[in-house]
Amino acid sequence: MELPLHGITVVALEQAVAAPFATRQLADLGARVIKIERPGRGDFARGYDRSVKGLSAYFVWINRGKESVALDLKDPTDRSLLDRLLARADIFIQNLGPGAADRLGLGAETLRARDPRLITCDVSGYGPEGPYRDKKAYDLLIQCEVGLVSITGSPDAPARPGISVADIAGGMYAYTGLLTALYERERTGQGSALSVSLFDALAEWMGHPYFAQAYGGAPIARSGARHPSISPYGHYACGDGARVFLSVQNDREWVALCSQVLGRPALIRDPRFADNPLRRAHDDELTAVMEADFARHTADGLLALLDGAGIANARLRTVGEFADHPQLTARERWRDFGSPAGPLRGLLPPVEVRGREAAMGAVPAAGEHTAAIRAEFATSSMLGPHERRASAHLGEGDPASGTHRVRIKRRGLGGAIFE
């Protein structure tokens, strides 16, 4: 069966993480993603590290299933090729530096004036207006500006979260925005001009700490691997020296913990722990009570006891242990995909569509598809962009095809619909 975005062409003038993360999701769903890279160097994320058989872990993660085309956009021949690519595109996404797309004549207003059905998406650091519009923006710096780093880490020191959350947030909002725009175009026949900033995306994710501080009065304290507003929720030492993580989300679970795990039902009504705000205020005392009891158990024994009582729990796994996680193995979530360094193993995308599987194409070498794309888009007729798409489907102009020139009524996700 065809994947949902079969027939959709995406031209991506992208680099680093946010926009490539968005377009990889589209490629996994069957879209054709043509990635424009710098001649010679390519996307600078290719050089972040060499940990995956000599390739960058970042690049491998977010660029599979794409076609790489090396173009010098200041060269008239290469720029003409890009224009021909855009004439056949459904989506154009870019995350160049502030103002760069407009200077290249690739701003949303310019492109959509030529093709109103084109969907454009600009991914930026801080958005198209405001005093920070032209400020350089990278993941950790955005985290700092929205206050995330101030609430992450131990009480003694702030810390960066272990993944690029600002880039991922921006990429996911770009991805969902593009899917929404495709759906809207099916109904209206018109494309859209989308704008997503990493700052706005991560600011949305700061909703809980904002409301807690703005209306609760007290700033959110850094709490290490414990939850800042729920207790008990975090890591607890066991008798074998290991630590177990658990979470109590409501009074019913608190009762189960006290009666079935700790064997101390009197704690249920203890005035220090009678509800969650009180438990959080006395978290150090509660931790001491729990760890005194947990000292009787091994980690395996305690996890079994927590499972039996219906208390959510987890082991603290390393990344290596995660890679061998029994849940991933049991559900056959790993797949092999190609790369310039040979076969690699990666996870299927999170959304499963029954009866179909994500494309998970190969990671391209820099400029790998340049020659093929130049040949495919070698000439451009005088037809308009949507009529060119029609001729690509119907062989317009070829007497042997027996077809005649048609006028497009609208274009569906899987191809043109004609009248």
Rounded (10°) CA dihedral 266, 270, 274, 278: -140
Residue 177 near residue 246 (C-beta atoms within 8 A): no
C-alpha 128 chain-centroid distance:
21
Instruction: Please name every residue paired with 344 in a beta bridge, in sequence order, or none if there are none.
Output: 337
Q: Name the active-site residue from 6, 227, 282, 393.
A: 227
Helix (H, G, I), strand (E, B) or coil at 77: helix
Residue 408 near residue 117 (C-beta atoms within 8 A): no
Helix locations, 93-164, DSSP H: 100-103, 108-114, 139-145
How many secondary structure helices (H) and strands (E) does the chain include?
17, 15
Cis peptide leading into residue 158 (ω within 30°)? no
Residue 121 near residue 91 (C-beta atoms within 8 A): yes
Token pair of 419, please? 């009248």
Please give the span between the terminal C-alpha atoms of the chain, in angstroms, as a whole number.
26
β-pairing, 243-247 vs 312-315, is antiparallel
Q: Sign of dihedral through CA atoms 176, 95, 205, 287?
A: positive
Catalytic: 297?
no
Catalytic residues: 227
